[in-house]
Structure 1
């Protein structure tokens, strides 16, 4: 209450900003750009605040009020800020707030509902080469799997694992997704195969005849089996020097994984 003069009394509501409960808010600049992307975050919260807890969406955090963060991988990131003070705490989360794009040649990989047997057709650009590029895919709890060859067997692929070129991977998707891969403009890459079954991929960004894709293996391969992600079933086997439906004149599809049976060790090169 504020008193003016002798008997006249005026009651004025006095709002003291520091005494209101914390209300979290923030902004950032820039919000889009190529890797590595340096972003300045600014706290715009209201109330008396004693602590700030930032989550940048890429497994890194900060307790600074106005942090600067560098994003090293491509993707779309949710950002969350939790503020706290004597009057309580509050949380603000902004979905897909930061978008980081890659460098190199852009390649679009389409995932279909169900299991997808895919490959990076060439080496991926640094910073865009880990399984984190699939973070937005709704996998319904399924892991990303790799089967390089019979000696190494099956392996679960972690978010930070580098995806290798011309290597077959399995991923489950609840719905159709378009994933952008950023291909290294210089290094094509290669895949070493061993005797027995190997999970490989079609080399290159366009269709290629099976016998041409396997040319570097000479006679050290026997079978190729692709997986139709649309129909969710295996395709007819391709046989070296085969004919008809099994002909090695058949085209391998770019971005698709294949089971290869090799009779010796050799390298497959991206085209």
Structure 2
């Protein structure tokens, strides 16, 4: 009797207690005929003789013509594959037959194995006695994605487990040195590259893996310049807040603000009048009337992008002082137009304003400018140069040329002011309603009409008073204006 291990034959004397133990899941063969072991080939096993390890490694041959006290503790598993023909007969009865991919486990734990046993790992074949067997649904690793597998960095990819066989644990390898044990993870790829993705799933009996080469392609982020600004028009000095809206994660910004009329004037001499900024969200004060082009160049390590907005900012002449007393009573709804503004100097304290629920003190001598961010309704009460109400939902408030806050003006109190200047424009759209209008005491309207009315430079009258009360279907204005434009539409 002998066993060949790692190419060396090991003799087995008569009466020896021999034990062969498989060290890991392995392929191989085993053949027992009439209580004779005729063959044994295993990729990794250990030979014990009389309780002592005699050899370990690759078993290539085994011949034992007669054995006694045979004891088997074998577990033979046939892994899932797609569509192979499989058959199980138990005591001559067919249990399973046909193309399928089940996971099959046959176990023999007995001191009475019968006379014959044949085990062949590839292709899977087992014939002999068994204490138990099981047929389980195949565990097959599989996954899909719920988002694009290709895009610019940073790229978020959502993975969805679609494994068969009811796994109870998952291990994802995203190919960038990170992993996850979630069933359906979302992973952020921050750097450009090509990434392999693999999924390993397990349940009580089985383990399976699948991998997809070059599954995720992350390209360098493409930077695209874009921006907005407010206000875009108004009297000088006009302070404009620019907001970067570029995509692609730029790391530097270069702004250019160029006055086109100056540029045209000095074109022949090669002179260019402009200002620049490298802030991401700059605030620029335009001190001269004119039309300004705005350039923005953004950069990151992968490239750059430019955007040019010609004539983007329009700066008009300084504020006008209202000269004509005006009184309007109408059933028409109206609104302050976008970029309308007022400016004044706080000449007495305590003075304050509340914007979006936040309270701000306004010191004596502060130059305050309020700019409409959109067309909107609101109320104004100014009495004897005291501002008691300036309630609008979308205003930007500047103090000494710097943005104080933007949004809803909840309350305001200015006990006394000087140099009230206006760029307020109030508009009534065409709507048939009873309307009364008088300028400097002269009546212009007092009837049912459907005219549109626009009032420019609406401000305080000689008594320092301005009342503007706008409702859903009524408007009341008493103050002063510099110019009124009316266009009657025939009924």
Q: Same fold (TM over 0.5)?
A: no
- Identify, as 1 or 2, the structure richer in strand: 2
- Identify, as 1 or 2, the structure richer in helix: 1
Structure with higher RCO (Cα < 8 A, 6+ apart): 1
State the TM-score, normalizing by the size of structure 2. Answer: 0.19
State the TM-score, normalizing by the size of structure 1. Answer: 0.34
